[in-house]
Amino acid sequence: MSRDITFGQFYPANSFVHKMDPRAKLVLVIAYIVAVFLVKSLYSYIAIAVFLIAAVLGSRVPVKSVLKSVRGILVIVILTAILNIFFFSGGERVLFSWWKIKITVEALLFALHMALRLIFLVIGTTLLTLTTTPMNLTDGMESLMSPLKLIKVPVHDLAIIMSIALRFIPILIEEVDKIMLAQKARGADFESGGLIKRAKALLPVLIPLFISAFRRADELALALDARCYNATPKRTKYKVLKLGWRDAVGVIILAILIAAIAAVNASFWGLFGFSFGV
């Protein structure tokens, strides 16, 4: 299981994307998510795909590691597409009709649109965690949320909580694998039977998982307390974040992408003369 999920894991490399400022990467990811939600035609998705390919090549992260993130949500993508095909309201070009079930061309296009949107969102956010260490993510989030300090919001505490949550994702997944292997060695069966039987079989996994998670959280709290965490009101940083030319290049490229998507939407272009209609 842990081999199929890359979200929250860091892939060390000496690349263009790795050397970017974490604040710039966070802002670019937010802008990228907005760009994905602005897409209305296949031409726009082609532009998003080209941008993602360039980002993966610039990060020097193996393509296989990036695609593993899609494998983890493949069931959700397929289920979302099926539901949109059968429950999409509207559409005049009917492909199949039986009783109350009607499949139209517009429903297929909308299902494709939702599937591509989910895939691109997951790949973009996974690339952020693969190229940024949890510590840098913490520093970047704290810096971006620093204006909230004016209204007495504990910005540093919120940033460290989010960073710890990201770091615990691969740890807990690895813990699940170990527990399942131990239970299988004792004769547990997680693959046969119906849905209810499989759910009941997971109970011997969930209980030790919760115990392990609480134990790790307690050990982490003791470690933070032993290092006098939050003992000083004004903490200094060993590494000061600085924006560079790489961040400017990333902003310019993403701005061009958003402008291109907006231009395509404004002209109502679509591949072979149609758009997704959203």
- pLDDT value, residue 232: 60
- pLDDT value, residue 142: 82
Give this prediction's pTM.
0.75
Nearest to 1 by CA among 144, 136, 170: 170
Residues contacting 17, CB < 8 A, separation 6+: 25, 55, 58, 59, 60, 127, 131
- pLDDT value, residue 271: 43
DSSP labels, 66-90 = HHHHHHHTHHHHHHHHHHHHHH---
- pLDDT value, residue 231: 55
- pLDDT value, residue 25: 92
Nearest to 9 by CA among 51, 82, 68, 54: 68
- pLDDT value, residue 82: 82
256: how many CB neighbours lie within 10 A of its CB? 12
What are the per-10-residue average pLDDT scores of the chain (278 residues)?
59 87 90 87 84 89 82 81 75 67 76 86 88 84 84 81 78 83 79 71 81 87 82 69 87 88 67 46
In the numeric block, which tokens belong to residue 240? Answer: 């000061």
User: DSSP 3-state assignment of 102?
Assistant: strand
Sorted by where each begins, the domain ranges of the chain are: 22-273
Nearest to 201 by CA among 216, 212, 215, 186: 186
For residue 125, CA distances in Å to 2, 62, 122, 219 come to 18, 16, 5, 29
